[in-house]
Structure 1
Amino acid sequence: MATVALTYFGLLATLLQVVIALWPRTASHNTTIMATLIIVSTLGGVLHSFPKASVTQDFNPPAFSIKIVQGDILDQQGNIVIGFTDTYDTDLTDGAVINPKSIQGQFQNKYYANNSDALDDDLTHALSTISPVSHENSSAKPRGKLARYEIGTVAALRSENRIFYAAAYGRIENNLKVSCSIDALWKSLTAVWESARIHGSLEPVFIPIIGSELARVGSLGREAIIKMIALSFVSSSREAIVSRELNIVILPKDREHVNIIELRRFLKTL
């Protein structure tokens, strides 16, 4: 900030000298002018160094970019990653199985009008070639679905001109608590990128800070999860291009928990 402020000061001081040369009478107001120069220069430095709400980093080869943006993940125009549990539960009743306030819950409300049957039909179709790895007993898990899919399973749901990557990243226990390990998240991210390679036609992918809410990923905070998402995407992209653009979307309420300057530095190291 200090360097930028000094640059502003030097430019303004040069301009002042030109003004005095043309209009000598202004020299009588040196004190006021000098104070104004200092204030304007300082403000310029502060504004210049203030972190922007978004970050973009380009990579090559292959040619792709990662953007960290602020907004609502469900308002984005493109293919979107939605986190699901390993049972692909969709029951929003009383919020016991799936919380209506979660991104999945909001997704069901916005794109399926809370019609769980319609979503279940789409999930069944998308998962038709994938076999569950186990089945729970209804006495042990009285609420929700019983078939469990492998962590990292991705159901590609097509809706008009976009794809929703329904990624099973968290395990829902029989008591309906959801958990996700760091290994499980990495595995799920890798599977999402592979699904995007197959179905996404290199179109932009949007992903929230997956695992930062109800399914806490170990002890990772939001910033660490963003770094993990970016690292995973870059690693997969260098094996084979996934998409020309990854957008990591931060909810406005999470902005205070994220250091944009640090994330910009991190992206430059990848």
Structure 2
Amino acid sequence: MNIFTDLKKWRFWKHFILKTFACGGVLSGIIQFLIIVSPTSAASFQGLAPLGLVVLCSVLTGFLLSWPRPIEVEFNSPNTKIRIVKGDLLVQDKHLVIGVSDTFDTEPPKIIATTSVQGQAQAKLFNGDFKHLDALLDQALVAAPKTGSITKPGKTDKYGVGTVAVVRNDPRLVFFLAYTEMDTQNNASATVDGVWKSLASLWHAVSVHGNGDAVSIPVIGGGLARLSSVLPAQDSIRLIALSFMFASRQNRVCEELRIVVHPKDYDKLDRMELQSFLSSLRPS
């Protein structure tokens, strides 16, 4: 965690100042009480030494309570946890979420970029055998209704934004979530409404198939989805967490949601703001 990035944020200093003065007020109140109870001890609390001790204790307590910590919140109702972690999605244990287009194209490199999350997942989780993955996806989508077709290179059947294909990749499941649409030139695009709709479908699928185990999801909307200017990483994380909590209050989705952020994006986050946002999702 890049601590110095957090220390540059006004949110940290605002929190630190409030906690420091609150601690100083409590200590001052305790001293006043002791003087009232035992007036003869008043001299013991006068001078620069007692004042310096109060200031030191207040500052240390303010730093201790404000110091940046891992971004995570546990909820009692519903019984779940949300964590925002820095790292590689594909090294996470338990279930994974991979964003795809509504045509579920898999062929690299002309249609699916090898540097994309999907491209890396195909190479690492399925040994680059996209034909085998196609067979698994076809099996997972056998009951999914098709919404139309498109004339383009690659797959032409459209399943619609919000379709989820659940594929087993022992010892876990991979939830292929269609949140982008392909055009005739195989350019993927997404909308915020489409992302929200897709997340609702995802949580239902995780609830049904995930057996309550933790699930890891990347920050969605950036890259080839062309939403980064409308839905930057900070907002995407909030959208994912909010959608997850709405779904969890209706039916338990899973024991833990991990939102995995690429290191270059993680270091740009206002982590204290995100911690505060997650805490605000607790029922009042």
Partner of 1:14: none
CA shift for structure 1 position 4: 6.2
- The CA distance in 2 between the partners of 1:260 and 1:5, in whole Å, is 21
Aligned with residue 91 of structure 1, among 89, 96, 107: 107
Counterparts in 2 of 1:178 and 1:58: CA distance versus 1, 3 Å:
same
Q: How many Å separate the matches in 2 of 1:71 and 1:165? A: 19
Rounded to whole Å, the distance in 2 between the matches of 1:73 and 1:146 is 29
**Does the C-alpha gap of structure 1 residues 224 and 91 become closer, same or farther in structure 2, counting only changes over 3 Å?**
same
Query: Is the contact between residue 177 and residue 202 of structure 2 (CA under 8 Å) also seen in structure 1?
Result: yes
Identify the residue that residue 268 of structure 1 maps to in structure 2. 279
The equivalent position to 1:208 in structure 2, one of 218, 224, 236, is 218
Q: Which residue of structure 2 lines up, in the alignment, with residue 259 of structure 1?
A: 270
Q: State the identity as a percent.
A: 36
1:119 to 133, 138, 142: 133
TM-score by length of 2: 0.77
* Structure 1 partner of 2:97: 81
- CA, structure 1 residues 61+5, in 2 after alignment: closer, same or farther (shift >3 Å)? closer
Please name the residue that 2:81 is paired with: 65
Shift of 1:212: 1.9
Of 229, 247, 262, the match for 2:258: 247
Task: Output the CA distance in 1 between the equivalents of 2:65 and 2:120.
Answer: 37
2:230 corresponds to which residue? Answer: 219
Tell me how far 1:41 sits from its aligned partner. Answer: 9.1
After TM superposition, the structure 1 = structure 2 runs for residues 185-196 of structure 1, keeping only pairs within 5 Å, are 185-196=195-206
What is the CA–CA distance in structure 2 between the aligned matches of 1:235 and 1:2, rounded to whole Å?
A: 34
Letter in 2 for 1:110: K
Partner of 2:248: 237
Which is further off, 173-182 or 231-240? 173-182
Q: Secondary structure at the match of 1:77?
A: coil
| TM-score, with length taken from structure 1 | 0.81
Separation (CA, whole Å) in 2 of partners of 1:116 and 1:230: 31
Q: Which residue of 1 aligns with 2:123?
A: 109
Q: 1:175 to 1:43 in 2, by over 3 A?
A: farther
Q: Closer, same or farther in 2 for the Cα pair 1:3/1:268, shift >3 Å?
A: closer
Q: 2:87–2:262: 8 Å Cα contact kept in structure 1?
A: yes
> Could you say what the CA RMSD is over the residues aligned between the two structures, in angstroms?
2.4
Alignment deviations for residues 157-209 of structure 1 (CA, whole Å, 9 cap, x no partner): 01112000000000111122211101100011011100001100110011110
Q: Which structure 2 residue ranges, 5 or more long, are not aligned? A: 1-15, 28-47
1:197-231 CA distance string (max 9 Å, x none): 11001100111101222203361110001000000
Q: Secondary structure at the match of 1:220?
A: coil
What does 1:101-180 align with in structure 2 at a 5 Å threshold?
101-137=115-151, 141=152, 143-180=153-190
Deviations 1:11-42 (A, max 9, x none): xxxxxxxxxxxxxxxxxxx9xxx9xx98x997
| Matched position secondary structure for 1:190 | helix
Which letter maps to 2:111?
Answer: V
User: Per the alignment, in what secondary structure is the counterpart of residue 214 of structure 1?
Assistant: helix
- Partner SS for 1:257: coil
